[in-house]
Amino acid sequence: MKQRKPIYISLGVFTLILLLYFASLHAKIRDHADTEVPKHVDYIIILGARVKGEIPSLALQYRIDAAADYMKKNKETIAIASGGQGPGEDITEAEAIKRGLVALGIPSKRILLEDRSTDTVENIRFSKELIPNHLEEGLIVTNDFHLYRAKSIARDQGLSLKGIPAETPSVAIPKSYAREYLAITKYYLVTTFKK
């Protein structure tokens, strides 16, 4: 029994460190989701999410709703709908976003399509290529749990963007946050080894 005690202590310390680490990530996620959204920005980048056939997933629909609400109140803001076509998707995520915005009353002339990206890094990189040179201030639209990492990736690519936090479907909260903790950890590791 005495021989096992150091193992139990080590496991306990490791578990505590892990819990504190995930708690700090959660605090950062919440801080970035709770910031004030500036008005009258030049553009917004709406990040894609899963499309089922031609129907946006609930997470993507919440992003579309948040973007449309902002664009109705800020008539000069243009949108970059970002997202390629993945397995089980009959149209690109960008096209699904555009259709959703138009259905909510946003004119199609205010929407640019970025339809090549397969992940958040590419969402930002390819969307950046579409931003007209005279436009300066922008926002990222994504679900609240995803904003911290999305804004960090944008900063790495030379874009200082605030965010519009879309709601996260309640049924998806545990899975979404668990996956995001791992995705942020991977992001930290990748950026650390790049330096």
The CATH number that applies at residue 102 is 3.40.50.620
Q: Is residue 72 part of a domain?
A: yes
Rounded Cα distance, 163 and 46, in Å? 10
Q: What is the mean pLDDT of residues 7-29?
A: 88
Q: What is the mean pLDDT of residues 157-164?
A: 94
State yes or no: pLDDT of 5 exceeds 80.
no
Q: What is the pLDDT of residue 7?
A: 78
State yes or no: pLDDT of 182 exceeds 60.
yes
| Domain range for 112 | 31-194
Q: Is residue 109 part of a domain?
A: yes
Rounded Cα distance, 179 and 7, in Å? 29
- The answer for residues whose C-beta is within 8 angstroms of residue 164's C-beta and 6 or more apart is 37, 44, 66, 67, 70, 139, 140, 141
Q: Is residue 134 part of a domain?
A: yes
**Number of separate domains in the chain:** 1
Q: What is the pLDDT of residue 192?
A: 83
- % of the chain exceeding 70 in pLDDT: 98
Say how far residue 186 (Cα) sits from the centre of its chain.
Answer: 15
- % of the chain exceeding 90 in pLDDT: 82
Q: What is the overall mean pLDDT for the chain? A: 93
State yes or no: pLDDT of 2 exceeds 70.
no
Q: What is the pLDDT of residue 3?
A: 66
Other beta carbons within 10 angstroms of residue 34's beta carbon come to 10
Rounded Cα distance, 45 and 142, in Å? 9
Residues 105-156 pLDDT 10s: 999 999 999 999 999 999 999 999 999 988 999 999 999 999 999 999 999 9
Q: What is the mean pLDDT of residues 20-45?
A: 92
